[in-house]
Chain A
Amino acid sequence: MKNEIVLEGVAVSPGIAIGKVFRYNKEDFWIEERTISEDEVKDEVERFLAAVNQIRDEIKETQERLKFKLGKEEARILDAHRMMLEDQVVIDETVVRIREERKNAAFAFFRTLRKVVKALKPLEDNYLKEKLADVRDIGRRVFFRLYGKEHPTLRDLQSPVVVVSHALSPFDVTHMRRENVLGFVTDIGGRTSHVAIIARAMEIPAVVGLETASSQVSPDDMLIVDGNRGIVYVNPDEAILQQYQQEERKLLQREETLKALRGLPAVTQDGKRVDISANIELPEEVDKALAHGAQGIGLFRTEFLYLLGGTPPSEDEQFEIYNEIAQKTAPYPTIIRTLDLGGDKLPGFAPPVPEANPFLGWRAIRVSLALKDLFKVQLRAVLRASVGGNVQLMFPMISGLEELVEAKEVLKEVKEELRQKQIPFDEQIKVGAMIEVPAAVMVAEHLAGEVDFFSIGTNDLIQYAVAADRGNEKIAYLFEPLHPGVLRLIKLTIDAGHRRGIWVGMCGEMSADPLATIPLLGFGLDEFSMSPVVLPQIKNIIRSVTLKEAQVIAEQILQMKSAREIREFLQGKVDERLCDISVPPSRRRSQL
C-alpha cells in the first residue's frame, strides 16, 4: 500500500481529475564556464544574438499556436516572456561579458540572468515566484539553443495522465494533446498564473501553489485533483476514491441538466418572456456563454483591447475580434460597449494630471468624445463587424442628452465615411445607452428618445447614487443594490424606457443576484445580462415565478424603508418559494 498524502493548494480551474501521475521534470544541466580567445569573440556574440532571435521566433510561433488552441487573449500570456527576452539591458550586459570578460555565450547569459534570479529567489510572493519561473524558462530555452539541444515538451504523452510539475510555462502546453491531459498540478502559481489561464481556457481541472507537490509524488502514484476545492490526494484510500468517482458522475449529470435547461427560454409561469444574455470580455467566452444558455452577449467589454499592447488596437485588430464574436453569437445579438476606461490608461497618450477622483473623472464616453480619432477607429470596427452578425452598439457613462447626441453624431460621420468608401455595414444597427449616472436616470425619458435600448450598469449606478467608492472596504457596506433609493432609480429607468417604447436591460452585477431577480422582473426589466456561470440559476428563478407574483413583490418592496428590511423580505420569499435554489448569505461584489 502506498502512502496516502493530502495536499492543499489553490483551486484555479474547476472539475475533478482522477488518474496516474506524469512528472514533468525539466532537466537541469551544467553551464560550463570557458574563456574564449579574441578571435572567437565575434562569433560568440553572433551566436548569442542568433539564439535570442530564434527564441523570439519560437515565442511568436508558440503564440500563434496558443491563439489557435486557446484564443487570442490567452496567447498574450507570453508577452512577459517576450519582454524579458528582448530586455536590452540583459542583452547588452551579456554581450559585454562575452566581449570584455571573454566568456562563452551560455555562461555570460547565465551570469547575467543569475543576478535577476538571485534577487527574486528569496521571495514568498507568488507573482514574483512565477516571474522567476519565466526568467528560468527563457534562460533554459536560450541555453538549449546554444547547445543545439531539443527542449522537452508535453507532446509525447501517450495516454491520459495528470501532469505534475514545479511550474508550467505556455511553451509546455503548445504541442500537448488535450485528451491526454486529465489535470494539472504545480508547485507554484496562483489564480492569474499562466497555468491557471491555460487550464481554465482548456477546461482542465487544476490545483496550483502546492509548494512541494512535484517532489512528493512518484511516477506510479495515483492522483485525485479536486479543482473545486484546491485539494490533491496522492494515492487516496478506497473510500475517498469512491467518493470522488461519485462526485465526478454527479458533475457529469449536472452538466446534462444544465444542457437540458440551455434550450429552454427564460419565461415566467404566466408566459412573460425576458432575454438572458452574457457579459464577456474575451471572444473565447462566447462558447461558454452559449453553452450556459445565453441568448446573446449583453455586454462585450472592449477595455482589455486597449490595456494590453503598447499602442491602441488598430481597426483591423478590433474588427477581427468583434466579427468573431458576432458570428459565433448570431442570430442572437452582440452588444459591444465602446471604451469604458480612464483616459490615463490608454497607451500612447501623454498622461494627464493625476486625478483625485478617477471615477468622477476623464473616462468612458468622455474620453471617446475627446479623442475622436480613437473613437472613430472603434466605431468603424464595430460597424464593419455588423455585417457578420447581429451587432449592437452601446455608449457607457452617458450623463445627459448632449453627450448622447454628440456620440451619435460621430457615429453618423463614421457611417457616412464608410458609405463613401462603399464598405458595407448594417444601416439599421441598434444603438443603446448605459444608464449608470443618477442624473441620466432623471432625464431617461429624453435619452430614450435617442436610442433603441438602455442597459443599466448597476455597479457604477450604485456607487454614484450612494456616493460610496465600491473599492473602499471601509464603506463597502454602503454599496447596497437593495437600497430603496437605488431600486427607485432602476424602476424610473425602466418606466422611462417603456414609455418611449424601448427595451431596458441590465448588465451590472445586480442582474446576477438571485435576490434581485424577482423584483427586477416585477419592475419590468426586459433583459438580464450576467456572467455566464450564474445564468442557469437566474433562468431557473425566472421560470419558477409568475410575472404577477413578481409585480406584487416589486410593489411591496417599494413600500419598505430600508435595504435590510427589503433583503430579509426577499430572502424569506426566496426561501419559501424556491426550495432548490441556494442564495449565498452575502454575495461577493467584485467590479463589473
Chain B
Amino acid sequence: MFEKTVTIKNQLGLHARPAALLVKTAERFKSTIFLIRDDLEVNAKSIMGVMMLAAEMGSQFTIRAEGEDEKQAVEAIICVIEDKFYEE
C-alpha cells in the first residue's frame, strides 16, 4: 500500500474537467486507488465518487493505492492535481 496527502491548488477545486481527468488518469493503473477525506472514501476510478469528493472539497485529501503499480498511480494523480489541472 502506498499513500500520500495532497492539497488542491486550483481555484476550481476538483470540479469540471479535472474530475474526469483524474478518473481517466486513475484508470490507466492496475492498482485499486482510493481518495480519502475525513470519513469519506471514494474510488478514484469512479466519476461519481470523485464528484462526491469534489462536493466535500476542502483543501486536503489522501490518495491511497494498492497493487503492483501503486506508487506510480499515486504519483500520477498527484501530478494531475499539482499541475493545478488544466484550467482554461
Chain A positions near chain B (C-beta within 8 angstroms): 79-80, 83-84, 87-90, 113, 115-116, 119-120, 123, 125, 127-128, 131, 135, 192, 307, 310, 342, 344-345, 347-348, 350-352, 354, 358, 591
Contacts and interface: CB of A to CB of B under 8 A. Distances in A.
B46 interface: yes
A533 B56 CA distance: 40
B46 A344 contact: no
B52 interface: yes
Interface residues of B, number: 30
B48 A354 contact: no
A123 B47 CA distance: 17
Interface in B6-35: 12, 15-16, 20, 23-25, 27-28
Given A80-B20, A83-B23, A127-B15, A119 B46 contact: no
Interface string B37-60: 000000101111101101110000
A318 to B, nearest CB: 20
B1 interface: no
Contacts of B52: 115-116, 119-120
Given A89-B49, A119-B56, A128-B51, 20 more contacts: A80-B47, A83-B47, A87-B46, A87-B47, A87-B49, A89-B43, A89-B46, A116-B51, A119-B51, A120-B52, A120-B55, A125-B15, A127-B16, A307-B86, A310-B24, A351-B75, A351-B76, A352-B79, A354-B79, A354-B82
Interface of B: 12, 15-16, 20, 23-25, 27-28, 43, 45-49, 51-52, 54-56, 72, 75-76, 78-80, 82-83, 86, 88
A570 B72 CA distance: 55
B46 A90 contact: yes
A128 B47 contact: no
Contact of A310 (B27, B47, B82, B86): B27
A125 B76 CA distance: 27
A256 B25 CA distance: 49
A88 B76 contact: no
B18 to A, nearest CB: 10
Contacts of B49: 87, 89
B46 A128 contact: no
B51 A89 contact: no
A344 B51 contact: no
A305 to B, nearest CB: 14
A36 B63 CA distance: 38
Contacts of A127: 12, 15-16
Contacts of B51: 116, 119-120, 128, 131, 135
Contacts of B25: 351
A345 B45 CA distance: 19
Given A128-B15, A350-B76, A351-B75, A116 B48 contact: yes
A417 B52 CA distance: 50
